[in-house]
Amino acid sequence: MSIDLRLLRYFVATADAGTATRAAQSLHVTQPVLSRQLRQLETRLGLRLFEREGRGLRLTRAAEDFLPEARSLLAHAEQVEHAAATLASGRLAELHLAVPTTTLTDVLAPFLATLGQDDPVPRVRELEPRGALAAIRAGADLAVVTRTPSRSLESRLLAVLPLWAYVRREDPWCRLSRVSIGDLAGRDLVLLTPNLAPRALLDAAFDAADLSYHSMIEVTNAQVAQAVAAAGRGVAVVSDDTRFGLVPLHIDGPAGPVQIRLHAAWDPQHHASLALEALAERLATFCADRYGEQVRSP
């Protein structure tokens, strides 16, 4: 059995108004039209909905039980209509983002603070190591990744950021601005685990220089790495912003500065592909404003 939503709206309006006269006024129809529509709904449902009570109308017991269901169905119909209108317009009501932990803390969270009332509501989760394509297939609208995204995705290079060697202010290196992979090979290091992008970059630079680590402590979080370095346990190599009063040094590898590339990726068939592209452009501009024009892609 199908029910005309218009008839349900007439029923709910009449139940709320208490009289057919007030209900007809609120619905901008005549009272005879409203009465015919209510009788039609009663016939459809096989239920008597109203009983006369003086000059007003009283819900029957069956109608009292049916009223919450009618309200719920109308509310759901409004949600469906709103979702369809959003899809048709190419807008986003919500924005589901998948982002690496360091990027979430240092880049994305400050960017989200700049969003306005007209922007979509952000829903954020940490990105699993499997990459952008897996994140988008799992429901993300936009994935921020450190590896070049699959060619099946649309993407935008957001920023080229340095990998930092962090030392304490009393460290002999504290007056330097940069160190080499060879320099790091002779130091105690505090590194992230190999599944994380900063460590993978450092491993590749060491391999290219045909060097190995002298001594290292592995941790799973960049902030923890800096905390361990601040405690005097070694030089932390991470890509996130400075913490605990540490001094950041650029790292030079055999092919030049060791840098991490930050990409935004999205499905080109997404209904809001243009909106996602505009958002990625805003994020790239935000990165340049935050870290300087030198982080823009050459």
What is the per-residue pLDDT across 218-271, written as a single tens digit (0 to 9) for each?
A: 999 899 999 999 999 999 999 888 999 999 999 999 989 999 999 999 999 888
Rounded mean pLDDT, 132-157: 88
Rounded mean pLDDT, 138-142: 87
What is the per-residue pLDDT across 44-68, written as a single tens digit (0 to 9) for each?
A: 888 899 888 877 788 899 988 999 9
The CATH number of the domain where 39 resides is what? 1.10.10.10
Last residue of a domain, one of 89, 117, 133: 89
Say whether pLDDT at 129 is over 80: no
170 and 59 in a common domain: no
Rounded mean pLDDT, 125-131: 74
278 and 253 in a common domain: no
The CATH number of the domain where 276 resides is what? 3.40.190.10
How many structural domains are present in the chain? 3
83 and 22 in a common domain: yes
pLDDT at 140: 87
147 and 65 in a common domain: no
What is the per-residue pLDDT across 10-30, written as a single tens digit (0 to 9) for each?
A: 888 888 888 888 888 888 888
% of the chain with per-residue pLDDT over 90: 37
271 and 155 in a common domain: yes
pLDDT at 81: 64
Residue 158's pLDDT band, with cuts at 50, 70 and 90, is very high
Last residue of a domain, one of 41, 70, 89: 89
138 and 116 in a common domain: yes
Residue 280 · residue 272 · CB < 8 Å? no
25 and 11 in a common domain: yes
Mean pLDDT of the chain: 87
In angstroms, the CA 256 to CA 204 distance is: 13
pLDDT at 44: 87
Rounded mean pLDDT, 114-143: 82
142 and 154 in a common domain: yes
Domain range spanning residue 248?
164-257
249 and 179 in a common domain: yes
Say whether pLDDT at 113 is over 60: yes
131 and 82 in a common domain: no
